[in-house]
A and B are shown apart, each in its own frame.
Chain A
């Protein structure tokens, strides 16, 4: 069917806006592009860029206000019926019926796509085998882990062997292992059926694997090209920096304050920097720069930062960064168990965290990270073992310990109908702050997190990145000694992630201990030390460099954190 393949998906000056109350949101503004048949195209951009709207337009779930969307030369308005036979669409939450089992979900979508009985069995076996779902055929979808749900969602969409596959952030909240498998399945399907894929993603390494990347921002399509093209523009601008006298965190801070650089992030023992176009390294002394291969993420950051000049302001000053070397253990976890009925979520967990450390908890979904966290915050009692936070035993004086910790939960829990200021005032009062001290802290939060323009906006209406900042600010109102961050960056775009880590580093430098869970492996690089958890157990513990070293091999000289994670997890599974 080559003739239809020519124009898989074409958008021609498409615009779409939504009205809610008096506010009009222009979600997609005058977008024109077409995608390459038989390839994967990635849709990247910050939150609220219009990626989901664009995918829904492509799936015919929304109609454009102006312009045309055509799929295989069929108009999405008039010929939506035919289009639906040709596409597969997986929404953000996978669109599964959580109270149906794996096989029941598959059967439902097979019925909806009118798959004949005899083809069906074969296809089921093929897909469940490929996705590793076969042992769970009779488990309810709601009881699957995030990674399994995502694979089931994908299997349901692939049942009809669509010619065009549309995926909306398929890998949010999914661990690296599952992400790898997802890619394997997609690539296999493309080989077999010549399928075309359009996916939105927040992972730049994922976008890098695609044939083409469309960069969106604020409803506009900024650029569409191959990853190599994007990277090529950054050639000669990316360096790994290293200084003998400074720790990588101090170096990163220093570099990010220099006008020459757009971006500086910690990458293992080095600091990965992106230089401003036309700038030179001449004025920077005492630091060794090694030119390195640019990544798509560098291009992405560079492009977006050029649009938002003041997106990240370098911090004005920083208290003696990491000057005081304290070895006091502020958190002690000693053989802690946690049972939920017959299920042991955490198994004899022991570790200690030192004051001023950034300590990471990594692991796949369901590894016991969140349970551990909730126990540390006093939200969940331990079944066995000892737990002390800031020298206080949580079993005897939980309330006393709570006054000294800050906690930010996965969902950035805020009172969505209260304004930013009202949220700050409420949480500061809850922590016992009064009068001038309270006013001072609220002012600090609004300034430090650049929330002033939004101070009277309801927190529910904030963009995700700002919600995260506000949640963080609320957890910090009482200047806690220890800060617990549960998946602080999940679903947040790279730009916002950078700002977040920038501020977290500053906090750590002032002596605040930070405990963080994440499944973004590259974020583990920001941690001083980390543990990787698997099935409630510690798989490994150490500094990022130590952990990566474990995965070193001949054909992989410099493994990334993700490589290390997958290496260790699969090694464990083989034993």
Chain B
């Protein structure tokens, strides 16, 4: 009963401080909104209206039916050039992303034993976009071939045809996976960065010294920080989920409660890291730097949020196992887009739990009972 009074006092104090310090509130609520809006509107890997240049050496019915196939597609925006020189110049000047070159013999060679060649040049500087564009061009091209063949009454004879389906995100919208993943980044910021800063602040302002001189226990000091920032982090989580579902229309196929539960676990990991950082750093500037380098950046780059983990070099893949965000990103993308797949949720939750326990044990052991 009595120790509850101490804890309650500490928690109440922390809330007052959060309420009065605009920067904590900014990190907890403004930053998530800012990041979600920035990513929701600013980041997209879906190429649309890609400018492509055409060089058609000898226009015929066939060439125009081919170029029409592209004109009807949402993916492309066509420009026509008189010769390759002009088109190449436009490519270098970044006016267009690809050139489709139909030689003079295109119509003649079509459906001949020596098939007509369509030369495609893509700007490869942005390799990812280049790959997507050449994929789109191939798709449009094969559709056109099929139509053309059917019109001639000789259906296209291909040895193998593939029927493909993209599961869970059939419209292939990048926002549907970026926004759930972003929640992990945001929670890292709230949990680790904010906690690291506020703990370091107590050292800097000398209030830790007077706290330690009172009959307060280590657990109470830690809990007194954890509970308020846990609640703040959960507030950030709810806000992010609400924005994802209602503003950005990301489908939530799994259970909201699973999200909440695993979000709690991840928050514990982030809070644990924040506590550890601040116990080691004792200075807001250093704590902020460390938090950004070892929590924010890895959550961004090495969590599978944007970049695929299995494609990274092995050494870096090994490192990603140490990053809590990796597990939470997997859960988030699954619960949002697939549903409650326990085989994904349970092992990843377990990993989060283990990490949280390790961080808390370390924090509790390293926690200050004295000034050194």
Of A98-106, A173-181, A198-206, A403-411, which binds chain B? Answer: A98-106
- B214 touching A112 by the CB < 8 A rule? yes
- B372 touching A62 by the CB < 8 A rule? yes
A157–B207 alpha-carbon span in the complex (Å): 13
Q: CB of B10 within 8 A of chain A?
A: yes
- A113 touching B205 by the CB < 8 A rule? no
Of A87-95, A366-374, A559-567, which binds chain B? Answer: A87-95
Within 8 A of A (CB), among B205-255: 205-207, 209-217
Provide the residues of chain A in CB contact with B213, threshold 8 Å.
Answer: 59-61, 84, 87-89, 91, 95
- A113 touching B215 by the CB < 8 A rule? yes
- B5 touching A91 by the CB < 8 A rule? no
Provide the residues of chain B in CB contact with A108, threshold 8 Å.
Answer: 9-10, 12-13
Provide the residues of chain B in CB contact with A28, threshold 8 Å.
Answer: none
Choice from B205, B217, B372 contacting A98 with Cβ under 8 Å? B205
CB distance from A485 to the nearest CB of B (A): 27
- B16 touching A56 by the CB < 8 A rule? no
Count residues on chain A whose CB falls below 8 Å from chain B CBs. Answer: 37
Within 8 A of B (CB), among A88-130: 88-100, 104, 107-114
- A97 touching B6 by the CB < 8 A rule? no
Choice from B206, B212, B371, B372 contacting A93 with Cβ under 8 Å? B206
Q: Scan B344-372; emit 1 where CB is below 8 A from any A CB, else 0.
A: 00000000000000000000000001111
Q: CB of A418 within 8 A of chain B?
A: no
A109–B372 alpha-carbon span in the complex (Å): 23
A96–B209 alpha-carbon span in the complex (Å): 10
Q: CB of B48 within 8 A of chain A?
A: no
Q: Scan A150-166; emit 1 where CB is below 8 A from any B CB, else 0.
A: 00000011001000000
Provide the residues of chain B in CB contact with A85, threshold 8 Å.
Answer: 215
CB distance from A308 to the nearest CB of B (A): 30
- A100 touching B17 by the CB < 8 A rule? yes
- B5 touching A99 by the CB < 8 A rule? no
- A111 touching B371 by the CB < 8 A rule? no
A140–B17 alpha-carbon span in the complex (Å): 11
Provide the residues of chain B in CB contact with A97, threshold 8 Å.
Answer: 13, 17, 205, 207
A112–B12 alpha-carbon span in the complex (Å): 12
- A91 touching B16 by the CB < 8 A rule? no
A160–B5 alpha-carbon span in the complex (Å): 14
Q: CB of B72 within 8 A of chain A?
A: no
- B13 touching A100 by the CB < 8 A rule? yes
CB distance from B17 to the nearest CB of A (A): 5
Provide the residues of chain B in CB contact with A112, threshold 8 Å.
Answer: 6, 9-10, 211, 214-216
A114–B209 alpha-carbon span in the complex (Å): 19
Choice from B17, B205, B212 contacting A61 with Cβ under 8 Å? B212
Q: CB of B165 within 8 A of chain A?
A: no
Choice from A80, A84, A91, A160 contacting B206 with Cβ under 8 Å? A91
A85–B6 alpha-carbon span in the complex (Å): 13
Choice from A63, A89, A98, A99 contacting B210 with Cβ under 8 Å? A89
Q: CB of B21 within 8 A of chain A?
A: yes
Q: CB of A81 within 8 A of chain B?
A: yes
- B17 touching A62 by the CB < 8 A rule? no
Q: CB of B108 within 8 A of chain A?
A: no
CB distance from A71 to the nearest CB of B (A): 12
Q: CB of B20 within 8 A of chain A?
A: yes
Provide the residues of chain A in CB contact with B205, threshold 8 Å.
Answer: 93, 97-98
Choice from A60, A94, A107 contacting B370 with Cβ under 8 Å? A60
Provide the residues of chain B in CB contact with A56, threshold 8 Å.
Answer: 209, 371
Provide the residues of chain A in CB contact with B370, threshold 8 Å.
Answer: 60-63
Q: Scan A178-210; emit 1 where CB is below 8 A from any B CB, else 0.
A: 000000000000000000000000000000000
Q: CB of B8 within 8 A of chain A?
A: yes
Q: CB of B152 within 8 A of chain A?
A: no
CB distance from B112 to the nearest CB of A (A): 78
A449–B209 alpha-carbon span in the complex (Å): 36
A77 to B, closest residue via Cβ: B370
Q: CB of B2 within 8 A of chain A?
A: yes
CB distance from A203 to the nearest CB of B (A): 21
CB distance from A234 to the nearest CB of B (A): 37
Provide the residues of chain A in CB contact with B17, threshold 8 Å.
Answer: 97, 99-100
B20 to A, closest residue via Cβ: A99
A140–B19 alpha-carbon span in the complex (Å): 13
B2 to A, closest residue via Cβ: A114
Provide the residues of chain B in CB contact with A61, threshold 8 Å.
Answer: 209, 212-213, 370-371
- B20 touching A114 by the CB < 8 A rule? no
- B5 touching A96 by the CB < 8 A rule? no
- A91 touching B214 by the CB < 8 A rule? no
The answer to whether residues A99 and B206 also contact, given A61-B212, A62-B372 and a CB cut-off of 8 A, is no
Provide the residues of chain A in CB contact with B5, threshold 8 Å.
Answer: 111, 114
- A111 touching B206 by the CB < 8 A rule? no
A96–B370 alpha-carbon span in the complex (Å): 18
Choice from A81, A95, A109, A113 contacting B209 with Cβ under 8 Å? A95
B210 to A, closest residue via Cβ: A95
Provide the residues of chain A in CB contact with B10, threshold 8 Å.
Answer: 108, 111-112
Choice from A62, A88, A98, A110 contacting B9 with Cβ under 8 Å? A110
The answer to whether residues A104 and B16 also contact, given A62-B372, A84-B213 and a CB cut-off of 8 A, is yes
Most B CB contacts (10 A, CB to CB) among A60, A114, A140 go to: A114
CB distance from A86 to the nearest CB of B (A): 9
A100 to B, closest residue via Cβ: B16
Most A CB contacts (10 A, CB to CB) among B16, B205, B206, B210 go to: B210
- A92 touching B8 by the CB < 8 A rule? no
Provide the residues of chain B in CB contact with A84, threshold 8 Å.
Answer: 213-216
Most A CB contacts (10 A, CB to CB) among B3, B20, B209, B214 go to: B214
- B207 touching A95 by the CB < 8 A rule? yes
CB distance from B98 to the nearest CB of A (A): 54
A100–B5 alpha-carbon span in the complex (Å): 18
A87–B212 alpha-carbon span in the complex (Å): 12
A90 to B, closest residue via Cβ: B210
A88–B5 alpha-carbon span in the complex (Å): 19
Within 8 A of B (CB), among A36-92: 56, 59-63, 80-81, 84-85, 87-92
CB distance from B56 to the nearest CB of A (A): 67
A157–B371 alpha-carbon span in the complex (Å): 18
Provide the residues of chain B in CB contact with A92, threshold 8 Å.
Answer: 206
Chain B residues with CB under 8 Å of chain A are: 2-3, 5-6, 8-10, 12-13, 16-17, 20-21, 205-207, 209-217, 369-372
23 A–B contacts from the bound complex (CB under 8 Å): A60-B370, A62-B370, A84-B213, A89-B210, A91-B206, A94-B210, A95-B211, A97-B13, A97-B205, A97-B207, A98-B205, A99-B17, A99-B21, A100-B17, A107-B9, A108-B13, A111-B9, A111-B12, A112-B10, A113-B215, A140-B20, A157-B210, A160-B214
Q: A96-B210, A112-B211 are in contact. List 20 more A-B contacts (CB 8 A).
A: A61-B209, A62-B370, A84-B213, A89-B210, A91-B206, A91-B210, A94-B210, A99-B16, A99-B17, A104-B16, A107-B9, A111-B9, A112-B9, A112-B214, A112-B215, A112-B216, A113-B214, A113-B215, A114-B3, A157-B210
Chain A residues with CB under 8 Å of chain B are: 56, 59-63, 80-81, 84-85, 87-100, 104, 107-114, 140, 156-157, 160
Q: Which 7 A-B pairs have the closest CB atoms?
A: A111-B9, A95-B210, A89-B213, A84-B215, A93-B206, A112-B214, A91-B209
